[in-house]
């Protein structure tokens, strides 16, 4: 390595006069001098040359030529093109990703919120920008802050896809010794790390899931605000979750004052907490710091989605159980409403479980049986239901499910809401000689990866309780069975989104199982009609799902309507109302 | 070096130049034996070599198998590396080339040189980088006749086409310089500075305007924070503390802004050569003001 010192040689008038470049008038010359950018001469190489000359230690003319030729690969021939693409033969970015990267580099001057909707590849965009800056020599020292469950994945993607040597933070030395460090924000702000992190000059800071910086009074926000950084990328699909001020706080990290002072912002751009005003102006101001690609805007071609609702008839035993349990719930629910207290959630749960499988209901029934709070007359009733549920011999849904899997003869994901149902399905699949793995909440990332590998390479079926699964890509699968249906249509969408997303090359088939004469029948028919509405706001899914209040209220309202024996139209208007709430919550600027 | 062939050609020439025996040379494939000094530069395993040398072992030279197209397979060859721009191995080779090829002393040979006196020239190449929050580079080269002090611009292209050797042919003589290398370099630097100031600096003006706009935005923002602070219902101590905090933050933001957006031109000398050339070989180009477009 050759070490060079950089000296800042200021342009001097003295020198201009000496040079051959003196023009007619000294006045124009002086003006020119003012416009002249500073020059920085890298010093030291010529002195090395003199030493080598003394020693007679030279490279051959051929090596001299090769050196020049090799340096040409390290020349950025223009300001505004993405030269990194030549070095990334294994990546074929989508047009919107290329546009975004270019726009951040050329128009947003390297400080931006990447706010694409979920599934459009924000990390690819960030990777392209990082790679471009590295190749152009504008960035060397990089801090990447991501949720701890995604640290390893980021490191792996940067190394493998982008050929960027990035390191997962391991110790207090990582911050100083590694040029490119990936860490969780919680680690970085811990006492033993914080001072070291703050002492570095970061050429680029990337924050994934940046909505964690929405609160200006939080330690997270303060850390990013205090960091010394040149370029800054904030990645979030939900720049606003509950309050328009969150957006202001994010932008203050990037470009303080872009939206005026806080009072200006509130009066100019906020109708209320959730609704923007002067949208045109706001949009313009935001376009200088934020890029948001939406699925609905096209450009990204998704494969087709075929949804099939399969209506089943319960057998006599199952029918009997369903009716008994539903009657029990109705009675209890009304009692509770009159008294204004008691465990409504438990009843809502039971009503949903009984739609899923008798096994799922058994868990709740057992809990009620064993709870000391349950009055004795009710306990008898519950015990009776429990015995009834335990006595079922044939299972309509699971039989249909097995039949479907055998017909499909390809990878299938089965989603259910309940662990008990999941166990039951796994057991039944095993009995029928079908190889299956499972996912459930609380699995560590490594375990999920391992299960994904197994599913991809060796097993036909994945049975999952959890629709989220941050960072798990299952595009190699094209069939989804919804064994039971969440009442909230957005959760259905989120499930399907695991498979039907960017990178899926084939059409996706979705099978919704439901049983005639049950609540599920209502839900399924509403879904068939309304699913497109939810697809439109799909990008905001995580936003809404993160907002539990909306979700819970929806469950309560539905329960009310169902128990009251509301008409289909009433249920439908509830769905419409939810749709409206979503639209309001997602700011459409 | 844009195509696979050009990358392969570059690697082949490198291995030949450093005397690494090429074992197989086929389309899209090279297999090469690495002498110890080259191995050390290309494989990044210092501890292995420390161990080998400390224990006085003499292991056989290792062999590198390089492919220049994806999916190349060779019978009986394991561990084939796919070499592309930006790949680890090519980066290592470039590092080695640049370590070994920064400085040369060479003599023109071939047609038209027999029996003539060769004159000394200093050749310098530079990478000019026009940097704000974006960056553009350009390679430029200058030669100076060390007898007359005459400057020849864009000399590298002409010199590259000549046949050069590292020892003078017996039939030629060399004339002595009247300028030292340092004096020659001083003349080149002046020429570089002069050419740069004659360039079109619209890019820098735009960068300065952008810088001023962002700076003004920052100033306004912090002024408004300070006004609000002064107006708040707090003790003077608290207000002072906050004002100090805002002032520090403002300084930081402005420093970051300058760091990111202030236009500057970095001039990095890339390599130097002491060349003995026949008179009239270099034609030289006059300083052309807008040679470097923006």
A45 inside 8 A of chain B by CB: yes
Q: Which of A165, A249, A257 is most worth mutating to test chain B (most B CB atoms within 10 A of its CB)?
A: A257
CB contact at 8 A, B179 and B123? no
* Rounded Cα–Cα distance for residues A493 and A470 (Å): 15
A67 inside 8 A of chain B by CB: yes
Q: Which pLDDT score is estimated for A527?
A: 66
Residue A265 and residue A350 share a domain? no
Q: Chain B closest CA to A77's CA: distance in Å?
A: 6
Q: Chain B closest CA to A230's CA: distance in Å?
A: 5
Q: Which of residues 30-89 of B touch A (CB under 8 A)?
A: 70, 84-88
Q: Which pLDDT score is estimated for A296?
A: 64
Taking the domain B4-100, which CATH number applies? 3.90.1150
Residue A416 and residue A364 share a domain? no
Q: Which pLDDT score is estimated for A15?
A: 35
Nearest-by-CA chain B residue for A70: B94
* Rounded Cα–Cα distance for residues B95 and B85 (Å): 13
Residue A357 and residue A449 share a domain? no
Would you call B138 and A258 a contact, using CB atoms and an 8 Å cutoff? no
Q: Which of residues 235-274 of B touch A (CB under 8 A)?
A: 249, 252-253, 255-256, 259-274
| Structure tokens, B134 | 């974006």
H or E segment and range at residue A463 = strand A461-464
Q: Which pLDDT score is estimated for B291?
A: 47
Residues composing chain B: 294
Residue A321 and residue A293 share a domain? no
Strand pairing category for B135-145 and B151-153: antiparallel
* Rounded Cα–Cα distance for residues A397 and A425 (Å): 10
| Structure tokens, A537 | 């706001």
Would you call B106 and A87 a contact, using CB atoms and an 8 Å cutoff? no
Residue ending a domain, among A273, A297, A321, is A297
pLDDT in tens, B116-165: 889 999 999 999 999 999 999 999 999 999 999 999 999 999 999 899 99
* Rounded Cα–Cα distance for residues A225 and B147 (Å): 59
Domain that includes residue A24, residue range: 5-58
Would you call B85 and A60 a contact, using CB atoms and an 8 Å cutoff? no
CB nearest A110 (choices: B201, B260, B270): B260
* Rounded Cα–Cα distance for residues B115 and A241 (Å): 83
CB pairs under 8 A between A and B: 237
Distance (Å) of CA A347 to CA A43, A327, A361, A405, A570 = 78, 11, 11, 32, 21
Q: Which of residues 125-154 of A touch B (CB under 8 A)?
A: 135-138
Strand pairing category for B117-131 and A290-291: unpaired
Helices (H), A391-444: 396-408, 419-431
Residue A246 and residue A118 share a domain? yes
Would you call B166 and A42 a contact, using CB atoms and an 8 Å cutoff? no
Average the pLDDT over B179-196 and give the result: 96
**Stronger pLDDT, B99 or A295, i.e. the higher one:** B99
A20 inside 8 A of chain B by CB: yes
* Rounded Cα–Cα distance for residues B88 and A435 (Å): 41
pLDDT in tens, B232-276: 888 889 989 999 999 999 999 999 999 999 999 999 999 999 999
* Rounded Cα–Cα distance for residues A321 and B10 (Å): 78
Residue ending a domain, among A390, A409, A439, is A390
Would you call B86 and A42 a contact, using CB atoms and an 8 Å cutoff? no
Residue A498 and residue A464 share a domain? yes
| Residue in A225, A235, A100 with CA at minimum distance from that of residue A542 | A235
CB nearest B263 (choices: A37, A53, A106): A37
Spell out the residues 6+ positions from residue A463 whose beta carbon is closer than 8 angstroms to its own: A413, A414, A416, A422, A425, A426, A429, A436, A437, A438, A439
CB contact at 8 A, B41 and B92? yes
Q: Which long-range contacts (CB under 8 A, 24 or more apart) does A391-394 make?
A: A391/A317, A392/A317, A392/A318, A392/A321, A392/A358, A393/A317, A394/A315, A394/A317, A394/A318
Residue A403 and residue A381 share a domain? no
Q: How far apart are the first and last CA of chain B?
A: 23
Residue A424 and residue A456 share a domain? yes
Residue ending a domain, among A264, A297, A330, is A297
Residue A283 and residue A150 share a domain? yes
What is the three-state SS of B243-275?
Answer: HHHHHHHHHHHHHHHHHHHCCEEEEEEEEEEEE
Does some domain include residue A76? no
Nearest-by-CA chain A residue for B225: A261
Nearest-by-CA chain A residue for B259: A230
pLDDT in tens, A169-190: 999 999 999 999 999 999 999 9
* Rounded Cα–Cα distance for residues A364 and A353 (Å): 8
pLDDT means per 10 residues in chain A (589 residues)?
Answer: 37 35 41 71 96 94 96 93 87 90 96 86 94 95 93 91 93 95 96 95 95 92 96 89 84 94 89 79 90 71 75 89 87 79 76 84 86 81 87 87 92 91 92 89 76 89 73 81 79 74 78 84 67 41 43 69 70 69 49
Average the pLDDT over B83-99 and give the result: 93
- In 3-state terms chain A splits into helix, strand, coil percentages (rounded to 5) of 55, 15, 35
Strand pairing category for A412-415 and A461-464: parallel
| Counts of helices then strands in chain A (DSSP H, E) | 26, 15
Spell out the residues 6+ positions from residue A142 whose beta carbon is closer than 8 angstroms to its own: A130, A166, A179, A180, A181, A202, A203, A204, A205, A206
pLDDT in tens, B201-240: 999 999 999 999 999 999 999 999 988 888 888 888 998 9
| Structure tokens, A114 | 């990447």
Would you call B134 and A138 a contact, using CB atoms and an 8 Å cutoff? yes
Does some domain include residue A334? yes
Give this complex's ipTM: 0.93
Would you call B182 and A18 a contact, using CB atoms and an 8 Å cutoff? no
CB contact at 8 A, B287 and B194? yes
Would you call A64 and B101 a contact, using CB atoms and an 8 Å cutoff? yes
| Structure tokens, B21 | 């025996």
In chain B, residues with a C-beta closer than 8 Å to the C-beta of A258 are 217
| Residue in B192, B193, B173, B179 with CA at minimum distance from that of residue B122 | B179
In chain A, residues with a C-beta closer than 8 Å to the C-beta of B139 are 68, 71-72, 75
* Rounded Cα–Cα distance for residues A62 and B165 (Å): 9
Q: Chain A closest CA to B59's CA: distance in Å?
A: 27
Task: Compute the half-sphere exposure of residue A110: CA atoms within 13 Å on the CB side of its CA.
Answer: 24
User: Interior CA angle at B36 toward B32 and B41, to 5°?
Assistant: 80
Give domain limits for chain B.
Answer: 4-100, 108-289
| CATH number where A449 lies | 3.40.50.300
CB contact at 8 A, B4 and B28? yes
CB contact at 8 A, B203 and B211? no
**Number of structural domains in chain A:** 4
Would you call B256 and A228 a contact, using CB atoms and an 8 Å cutoff? yes
Strands (E), B45-176: 62-67, 81-82, 103-108, 117-131, 135-145, 151-153, 164-165, 173-174
pTM: 0.71
Would you call B103 and A46 a contact, using CB atoms and an 8 Å cutoff? no
A285 inside 8 A of chain B by CB: no
A53 inside 8 A of chain B by CB: yes
Does some domain include residue A78? no
CB nearest A62 (choices: B17, B125, B134): B17
CB burial of residue A243 (10 Å; 0-12, 13-18, 19+): middle
Q: Which of residues 92-111 of A touch B (CB under 8 A)?
A: 105-106, 109-111
């Amino acid at each position: 390595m050759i070490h060079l010192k950089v000296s800042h040689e200021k342009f001097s008038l003295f020198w201009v006069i000496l040079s051959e470049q003196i023009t007619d008038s000294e006045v124009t010359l002086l003006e020119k001098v003012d416009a002249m950018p500073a020059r920085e001469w890298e010093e030291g190489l010529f002195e090395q040359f003199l030493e080598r000359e003394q020693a007679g230690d030279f490279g051959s003319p051929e090596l001299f030529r090769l050196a020049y030729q090799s340096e040409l690969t390290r020349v950025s021939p223009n300001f505004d093109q993405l030269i990194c693409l030549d070095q990334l033969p294994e990546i074929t970015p989508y047009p919107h990703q290329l546009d975004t990267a270019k726009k951040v580099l050329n128009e947003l001057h390297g400080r931006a919120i990447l706010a694409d909707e979920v599934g459009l590849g924000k990390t690819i965009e960030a990777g392209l920008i990082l790679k471009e800056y590295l190749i152009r020599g504008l960035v060397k020292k990089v801090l990447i802050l991501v949720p701890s469950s995604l640290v390893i994945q980021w490191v792996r993607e940067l190394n493998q896809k982008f050929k960027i040597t990035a390191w997962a933070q391991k110790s207090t030395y990582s911050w100083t010794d590694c040029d490119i460090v990936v860490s969780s924000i919680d680690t970085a702000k811990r006492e033993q790390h914080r001072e070291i992190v703050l002492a570095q000059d970061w050429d680029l800071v990337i924050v994934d899931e940046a909505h964690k910086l929405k609160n200006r009074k939080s330690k997270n926000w303060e850390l990013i605000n205090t960091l010394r950084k040149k370029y800054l990328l904030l990645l979030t699909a939900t720049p606003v979750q509950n309050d328009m001020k969150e957006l202001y706080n994010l932008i203050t990290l990037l470009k303080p004052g872009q939206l005026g002072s806080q009072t200006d912002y509130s009066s100019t751009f906020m109708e209320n907490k959730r609704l923007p005003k002067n949208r045109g102006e706001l949009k313009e101001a935001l376009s200088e710091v934020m890029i948001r690609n939406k699925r609905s805007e096209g450009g990204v071609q998704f494969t087709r989605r075929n949804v099939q609702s399969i209506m089943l008839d319960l057998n006599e035993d199952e029918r009997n159980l369903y009716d008994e349990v539903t009657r029990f719930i109705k009675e209890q629910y009304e009692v509770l409403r009159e008294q204004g207290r008691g465990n409504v959630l438990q009843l809502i749960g039971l009503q949903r479980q009984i739609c899923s499988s008798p096994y799922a209901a058994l868990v709740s029934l057992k809990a009620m049986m064993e709870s000391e709070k349950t009055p004795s007359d009710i306990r008898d009733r519950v015990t009776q239901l429990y015995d009834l549920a335990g006595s079922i011999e044939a299972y309509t849904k699971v039989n249909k499910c097995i039949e479907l899997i055998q017909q499909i003869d390809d990878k299938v994901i089965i989603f259910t809401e309940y662990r008990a149902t999941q166990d039951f399905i796994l057991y039944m699949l095993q009995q029928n000689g079908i190889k299956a793995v499972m996912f459930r909440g609380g699995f560590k990332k490594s375990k999920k990866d391992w299960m994904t590998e197994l599913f991809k390479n060796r097993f036909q079926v994945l049975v999952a309780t959890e629709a989220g699964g941050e960072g798990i890509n299952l595009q190699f699968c094209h069939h989804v069975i919804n064994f039971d249906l969440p009442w909230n249509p957005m959760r259905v969408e989120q499930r399907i989104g695991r498979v039907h997303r960017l990178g899926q090359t084939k059409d996706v088939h979705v099978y919704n199982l439901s049983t005639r004469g049950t609540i599920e029948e209502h839900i399924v028919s509403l879904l068939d009609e309304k699913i497109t509405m939810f697809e439109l706001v799909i990008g905001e899914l995580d936003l809404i799902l993160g907002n539990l209040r909306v979700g819970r209220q929806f469950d309560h309202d539905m329960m009310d309507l169902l128990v009251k024996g509301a008409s289909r139209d009433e249920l439908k208007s509830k769905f419409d109302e939810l749709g409206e709430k979503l639209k309001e919550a997602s700011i459409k600027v | 070096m844009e195509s696979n062939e050009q990358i392969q050609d570059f690697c082949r020439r490198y291995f030949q130049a450093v005397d690494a025996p090429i074992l197989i040379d086929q389309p899209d494939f090279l297999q090469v034996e690495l002498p110890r000094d080259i191995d050390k530069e290309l494989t990044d395993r210092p501890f292995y070599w420390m161990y080998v040398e400390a224990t006085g072992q003499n292991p056989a030279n290792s062999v590198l198998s390089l492919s220049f197209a994806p999916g190349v397979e060779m019978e009986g060859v394991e561990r084939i590396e796919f070499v592309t721009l930006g790949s680890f191995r090519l980066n290592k080779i470039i590092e080695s080339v640049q370590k070994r090829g920064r400085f040369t002393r060479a003599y023109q040979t071939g047609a038209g040189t027999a029996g003539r006196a060769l004159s000394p020239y200093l050749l310098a190449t530079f990478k000019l980088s026009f940097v704000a929050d974006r960056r553009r580079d350009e390679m430029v080269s200058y030669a100076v006749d060390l007898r007359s002090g005459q400057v020849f611009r864009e000399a590298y292209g002409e010199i590259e086409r000549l046949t050069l050797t590292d020892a003078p042919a017996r039939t030629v003589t060399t004339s002595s310089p009247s300028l030292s290398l340092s004096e020659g370099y001083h003349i080149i630097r002046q020429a570089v500075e002069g050419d740069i100031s004659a360039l079109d600096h619209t890019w820098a003006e735009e960068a300065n305007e952008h810088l001023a706009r962002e700076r003004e935005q920052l100033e306004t923002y912090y002024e408004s924070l300070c006004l609000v602070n002064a107006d708040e219902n707090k003790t003077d101590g608290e207000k002072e503390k906050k004002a100090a905090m805002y002032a520090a933050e403002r300084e930081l933001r402005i420093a970051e802004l300058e760091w990111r957006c202030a236009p500057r031109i970095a001039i990095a000398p890339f390599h130097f050569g002491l060349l003995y050339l026949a008179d009239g070989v270099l034609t030289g180009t006059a300083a052309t003001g807008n040679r470097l477009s923006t």
